[in-house]
Amino acid sequence: MLTFIYCPDCDVPAEVTDRFALASTSGPADHIVVRCAAGHWFRMASDLLPESTRQHLLMQDLEPHIAHVAFGPTG
Ligand SMILES: [Zn+2]
């Protein structure tokens, strides 16, 4: 399911192509990946979205997944 918002940069319709959580000192921080029709590409904390847009996102049945980032050697 894709969620459409407006580009933070040029205000054309943009789609949320991914949503994930990054660990922070205060717990998982919800992030989104946004790509607008003009080709802008953002990866940003969803906290930065206008409240109305956040509410729209929250209404979507999207479960953020935890991004697994490997630090250092694995195995
Ligand atoms: Zn844009």
Could you read off the pLDDT of 66-75 as tens digits, one per residue? 555 555 665 5
59 inside domain: yes
26 inside domain: yes
30 inside domain: yes
Residue 31: domain span: 3-64
Could you read off the pLDDT of 8-58 as tens digits, one per residue? 889 899 998 998 999 989 889 989 999 999 999 999 998 888 787 777 776
20 inside domain: yes
- The DSSP string of 51-64 is HHHHHHHHHS----
What's the confidence (pLDDT) of residue 7?
Answer: 87
Tally of domains within the chain: 1
CA 69 to ligand 1 center in whole angstroms = 28
Strands 65-66 and 3-6 turn out to be: unpaired
State the Rg of the chain over Cα.
Answer: 14
What's the confidence (pLDDT) of residue 11?
Answer: 87
CA 30 to ligand 1 center in whole angstroms = 21
What's the confidence (pLDDT) of residue 21?
Answer: 92
Query: What torsion do the CA atoms of 26, 35, 60, 30 make, to the nearest 10 degrees?
Result: 0
73 inside domain: no
Which single residue is written with the structure tokens 């729209």? 56
Alpha carbon distance 6, 10 (integer Å): 8
Work out the pLDDT band at 60, boundaries 50, 70, 90: low
CA 37 to ligand 1 center in whole angstroms = 6
